[in-house]
Structure 1
Amino acid sequence: MQDSQGRVIEYARISLTEACNFCCTYCRPHEITEAMAPVLPASFWMSVLEALWLGGVKAVRFTGGEPLLYPHLYELLEAVQKKGWFSDISMTTNGSLLSQQADKLYTAGVRRLNISLDSVEEEGFAQAVGRSGQLERVLQGIEAAKTVGFKNIKINTVVQKPMSDEEVRVLLHYGDTWNVVWRFIEYMPFQGKQSHVPTFQEWKAQLERIVGAPLELVTDRLGFGPAQYFRLPSGQRIGFIFPLSNQYCSSCNRIRFTADGYLRLCLLRDEDLELKRMVQQGVDAQAILHCIEEALQGRYASHDGEAIEKVERPMWRIGG
């Protein structure tokens, strides 16, 4: 399956729910509860996933909102595991519910986790997620995931503002202690412009100053996503995802699906194809694949850079 630019699509990100028990400042203005969120049944996603498998997709990541709030999660995961369609099944979570569900996720076939963690300091974390007293739950979730056998854990921090060298050192220390890959993600102003945030080059220069040496580019592939990975002098690996100041559109291999049943061709463009009615009408997976392939022929070579304030669908309605 290829798009209009000849890019091979091998990775799909599926937002299972818009519901989330956090309201991070860069994502959503208020909490979206399960009662407020659209919910599509596992059977809907199985039809879409079969089409993606037929189209050659190798990796699927389940996201949200908070995917652990999706009421049909384990029905879906167990069905996908039974089919054996994909070589890589992963999930992005805020970690707050992970300590109770890590074992169940692993048993259901999820093997890689991305966990959002914008601060390891109680006050800073509370400010980031709009909730107090939640940091310990996330830390327990990370430990639980490690205990049950997850060996590929990435921690995601959105760089919303310039950080002091000491703040960065603390995050790197935790990453080394946990033996996880810490990834730094560029803030994207979906909710409007704000004061200057670090660019790729500025952030890379700060890390190099902190560790006292150039960052060594890691060429080994660590998953199917867009991150660029570097090795520190200590051997620790870190990742950068800076889609605005270090655009990677030419190598984009992914498509997204929203929790209300739309295919989204680009995170930063309002180019959506409704699939819900088609699936509900009972069309087969081959027909769904055909529609997806047709939509991909209208894909642009790149996004519009910092003009993303024009994007109408907010981040929380697209999926993490």
Structure 2
Amino acid sequence: MPLPEPIMDARNRPLRDLRISVTDKCNFRCQYCMPAEIFGPDFVFLPQHKLLSFEELARLTRIFASLGVGKIRITGGEPLMRKDLPVLIRMIREVEGVHDIAMTTNGSLLARHARALKEAGLDRVTVSLDSLDEERFGRMNGRGYRVADVLNGIEAAAEAGLGIKLNMVVQRGVNDQDILPMARYFREQKHTLRFIEFMDVGNSNGWKLDQVVPSSEIVRMIHEEMPLEPVDPNYFGEVATRYRYVGEKTEIGLISSVTQAFCSTCTRARLSAEGKLYSCLFASTGDDLRAPLRDGQSDEEIRELIRTIWEKRDDRYSEVRGNATPDLKQRAKVEMSHIGG
């Protein structure tokens, strides 16, 4: 059966991808996402009854699939802190039209869950790792987790047959000295490493433009030691600009939301753990889908609500960041830990 045609937003961008946050909790306290001084021991996370159940998430996935969504990414917080996550993966795998299920994780809990996730139907994992230096990584994750914890998770995922990519958020003066060591290591491991420009997501990460290392600088740095050649995008809306090492299949990617905005091809919607639909990573507010789910609205009614939200979508924050009005610059934005990346 052919896939349904995706719905289009106000800027003619199709809805093809849904990122589902399954929890707002995380065991890391990375400064650019969940700084410990804000998300400390007294911080109150969502109670269980406010989280969407697996049945509700599967139902929403079916509705989104009927609108043309074929790719699902499970996010958090740290998604592996949600109990019995393979059960949800299995439920999503059964949804007609879904052809790709991925998960973003910090990797610290991955070793114990990788095989069960693969058996449930997960296709790929993207593991966040910002340094191979033990002291620096422990300081960056805010909890002293070891690099070895993450590398063990990556190895377990590979052994289970999951596709693997790595994400490194680069901050000048924090971990930019790790760019080449990370590139060398994951080139040897033959895993794709993606470098992410430090972004002004949320309100608590202390973002400053002078801490952004432009992707062009990263490419030049790597190319001088390990020659690179550009690779064409796989599909419309691919976030990363791709390069491969000359003479090899191994790639790197650059996610350049600050210096090379890709709003014009963004096909992603984000669902928070308590059921709010966000049309942009930098959004201030989301539209509540939990209430209509629990108030007994039909699939068709919820489908039309989602269609209306998407067709009105006009977000392009990264494109206008540099010329933003004071009120846009100062407005509160949803935290990345709340809706994933």
TM-score for the superposition, normalised by structure 1: 0.91
Counterparts of 1:55 and 1:32, CA distance in 2: 39
8 Å contact kept, 2:15–2:267: yes
Point out the more displaced range, 103-112 or 305-314.
305-314
What's the CA shift for 1:86?
0.5
Task: Note the 1:4-83 alignment, pairs <5 A.
Answer: 4-30=10-36, 36-38=45-47, 39-83=51-95
Conservation of the 8 A alpha-carbon contact between 2:70 and 2:100: yes
- 1:282-320 alpha-carbon deviations (Å, 9 max, x no partner): 222222121111011221252132555534322212222
> Which 10-residue stretch deviates more, 304-313 or 110-119?
304-313
Moved over 6 A (4+): 32-35, 163-166
Contact 2:237 2:266 in 1 (8 A): no
Question: What's the CA shift for 1:231?
Answer: 1.3
CA contact (8 A) 2:282 2:333 kept: no
2: CA distance, partners of 1:18 / 1:230: 33
Equivalent residue for 1:241, pick from 219, 242, 255: 255
**Partners of 1:123 and 1:230 in 2: CA distance:** 30
Q: In 2 relative to 1, CA 227–309 (structure 1 residues): closer, same or farther, beyond 3 Å? A: farther
| Structure 1 Cα separation of the partners of residues 288 and 31 of structure 2 | 28
Letter in 1 for 2:300: Q
Matched, 1:94 2:106: yes
Are residue 199 (structure 1) and residue 214 (structure 2) matched?
A: yes
C-alpha deviation, 1:221, in angstroms: 1.4
Hey, what's the Cα distance between the residues in 2 that align with 1:11 and 1:114?
15
- The answer to whether the 8 Å contact 2:130/2:175 transfers is no
Per-residue CA shift, 1:175-213, capped at 9, x if unaligned?
Answer: 1222110000010133333343212333233233333x4
1:154, 1:181 within 8 Å by CA — same for their partners in 2? yes
Q: Pick which of 248-257 and 187-196 moved more.
A: 187-196
- The amino acid across from 2:166 in the alignment is I
Deviation at 1:105, TM superposition (A): 0.4
Whether 1:231 and 2:244 are equivalent positions in the alignment is: yes
SS for the counterpart of 1:36 is: coil
Q: Work out whether residues 18 and 32 of structure 1, in 8 Å CA contact, stay in contact via their aligned partners in 2.
A: no
Worse-matched range after superposition: 223-232 or 72-81: 223-232
Does 1:262 pair with 2:276? yes
What is the aligned-residue RMSD (CA, Å)?
A: 2.3
Q: 1:224: how far off? A: 6.7
Q: Deviation at 1:162?
A: 5.2
Say how many residue pairs are matched: 317
Query: Using the alignment, how far apart are the partners of 1:192 and 1:300 within structure 2?
Result: 27
Tell me the TM-score normalised to structure 2 length.
Answer: 0.86
Question: Paired residue for 1:183, among 179, 194, 201?
Answer: 194
- The 3 A distance-change label for structure 1 pair 233 and 53 is same
For residues 146-185 of structure 1, give each alpha carbon's deviation from its aligned partner in whole angstroms, at most 9, with x where no partner exists: 11112x2100000112588863221112212221100000
Q: Is residue 210 of structure 1 aligned with residue 225 of structure 2?
A: yes
- Distance in 1 (alpha carbons) for counterparts of 2:188 and 2:207: 35
Describe the shift of the 1:181–1:160 C-alpha distance in structure 2 as closer, same or farther (beyond 3 A): same
- Is structure 2 residue 142 aligned with structure 1 residue 130? yes
Structure 2, unpaired ranges of 5+: 1-6
Please name the residue that 2:232 is paired with.
219
What does residue 339 of structure 2 align with? 318
Structure 2 letter corresponding to 1:80: I
CA change 1:274–1:243 in 2 (3 A) is same
How far apart are residue 63 of structure 1 and its match?
Answer: 0.4
**1:298 aligned residue:** 312
How far apart are 1:133 and its partner, in Å?
A: 4.0
Query: Per-residue displacement from partner, 1:4-32 (whole Å, max 9, x unpaired)?
Result: 11111111111111010001110012357
Question: CA 1:73 to 1:223, structure 2 compared with 1: closer, same or farther past 3 Å?
Answer: farther
- The one of 158, 162, 169 equivalent to 1:158 is 169
